[in-house]
Amino acid sequence: MSYPGAVCKGLLRIILSDASMKSRNSLLGLVLFSLYLVLYGGFVLLNTFWPETMDATPFAGVNVAIWYGFGLILAAFLLAIVYGFLCKAAEDDK
């Protein structure tokens, strides 16, 4: 397993083992929320202070504004699935 992967797994193990169900879910929620906040915050700050970065077309002739926007929507859904999966796994263990 890669280094970041191992770190993530270790963190999740700590979260999943050291807390009650209620606070375990909220800790996990906060970790995923922070991750999304970085992605969303990055998008908003780029648009606000460096809007010209959104004009570039890095891939398939489509600009950063569209890729990043679609990416944020997809990321929200994927993180939601991860959260649901981890919470369910914890509940099943219990």
Partner 1 sequence: MIHNPTFMAVAIFLLFVGFTLGLSFYLGRRAKSSAGYFAAHGQIPWFVNGVAFAGDYLSAASFLGICGMIAFHGYDGFLYSIGYLAGWVVALFVVAEPMKRLGKFTFADALNSRFDSPGIKLAVGLSTLAVSVFYLIPQMVGAGALVKPLLGLDHWVGVTLVGAVVIFIVVTAGMVSTTWVQFLKGSLLVVFSAVMTVMILERGFEVDPTTPEPQTVTITADGKELINGLPLGNGPGEATLRPIGTISHLPHGEATTGPLGPIEFFSTLQQSEVVLWTSTKTTSEDGSVTTTYSPKPTPGSQVLRPGEHPKFKGIRSDQFFEKLNFLSLMLALFCGTASLPHILIRYYTVKDEAAARKSTIVGIGCIGFFYVLTLYMGLGAMTSGAMDVTNSNLAAPLLAKSMSEMLFAIISAIAFTTVLGTVSGLILASAGAVAHDLLGSFSGIKLTDHEQVRIAKIASVAVGAIAIVLGILFEKLNVSYLVGWAFSVAASANLPSLVMLLFWQGVTKQGIIAAVVVGMISSLAWILLSADTFSAVYGLPAENALVPFSQPGIVTIPLGFATLILVSLLTRVKA
* Binding of residue 66 to partner 1 (CB under 8 A): yes
State the binding string over 26-65 for partner 1 (x if CB under 8 A, else -).
x--xx-xx--x---x--xx--xxx-x--xx-x--xxxx-x
Cα separation of 8 and 77, whole Å?
A: 19
- Rule CB under 8 A: choose which of 6, 7, 18, 84 binds partner 1: 84
| Cβ neighbours of 7 (radius 10 Å) | 11
End-to-end CA distance of the chain: 27
As given in the structure block, the two tokens for residue 62 are 């489509």
As given in the structure block, the two tokens for residue 89 are 């796994």
Binding positions for partner 1, rule: CB under 8 A: 22, 25-26, 29-30, 32-33, 36, 40, 43-44, 47-49, 51, 54-55, 57, 60-63, 65-66, 69-70, 72-74, 76-77, 79-81, 83-84, 87-88, 91
